Structures are given as C-alpha cells and as structure tokens.
Amino acid sequence: QVQLVESGGGLVHTGDSLSLSCTASGVFLDEYAIGWFRQAPGKEREAVAAIGWSGRTTEYSDSVRGRFTISRDAAENTIHLQMNVLKPEDTAVYYCAVNIMAYAQGSPNEGAYDYWGQGTQVTVSS
C-alpha cells in the first residue's frame, strides 16, 4: 500500500524559509515523478513544483520559480520542497503526489498523479 506523508509545515513570517518533506512507504520515490501542489482557502488546488522520474528535470509555477526548490533524497525515500522568501500568498495546505507510471516527467496536471498525501499547512504572516 502506497502512503505519502508530508511534514515541515508551520507558521512563519514574510521572508522566512521552510523545508517541506514528503516521505513514502510502499513505493520508491526516486523511481517516479513527484509533484507538489497547494490549496489556499477558497481557491482551487494548484501545482507548485514537480520532478521527473530521473530527477534530471524539474518545473515550477511562475509564482514560486526562483524561490522554491524541489529535490529528492533517495536514501530517505523523501522528496523535499525548500521554500525561501515566503510570502503571505504562499499560505496554503501543501500536498505531495506520486505518478507511478514508469519514466514519467513531472506534470502540473493533478490527474497525472496516482497517490496523494494528506497535506501540511503552511501559514505566512505579513
């Protein structure tokens, strides 16, 4: 059974940094494409970052590019999302998701992912 667990969320101030982690059981994350998404109150869930199956390709939404970095730690079976220079508009529940199709690239499309975590809350105060 595949399970994803996000951690690292919290309450921070504008300009601070946070590092989110997505740890898996039942699947080796370094073999598949992973995406990070977020959902703010009253808004639809949106893509934030993604990494392809090989780890060589990454993509980011325009709103976080240059501030967020997605990376994988194969030894820990974990995907990280380093978030720097946080803004109040980054406030949301953050989710990780895995696409278990072989050789998949990262995608901003929610439908490309098969398993999701429960989310971790990130709140950025002004």
Return the amino acid letter for 41. Answer: P
Q: How confident is the model at residue 123 (pLDDT cuts 50, 70, 90)?
A: very high
Residue 78 · residue 24 · CB < 8 Å: yes
How confident is the model over 10-68, as pLDDT tens digits? Answer: 999 999 999 999 999 999 988 999 999 999 999 999 999 999 999 999 999 999 999 99
Percent of the chain with pLDDT over 70: 100
DSSP 15-77: T--EEEEEEEESS-GGGSEEEEEEE-TTS--EEEEEE-TTSS-EEE-TTTTTTEEEEEEGGGT
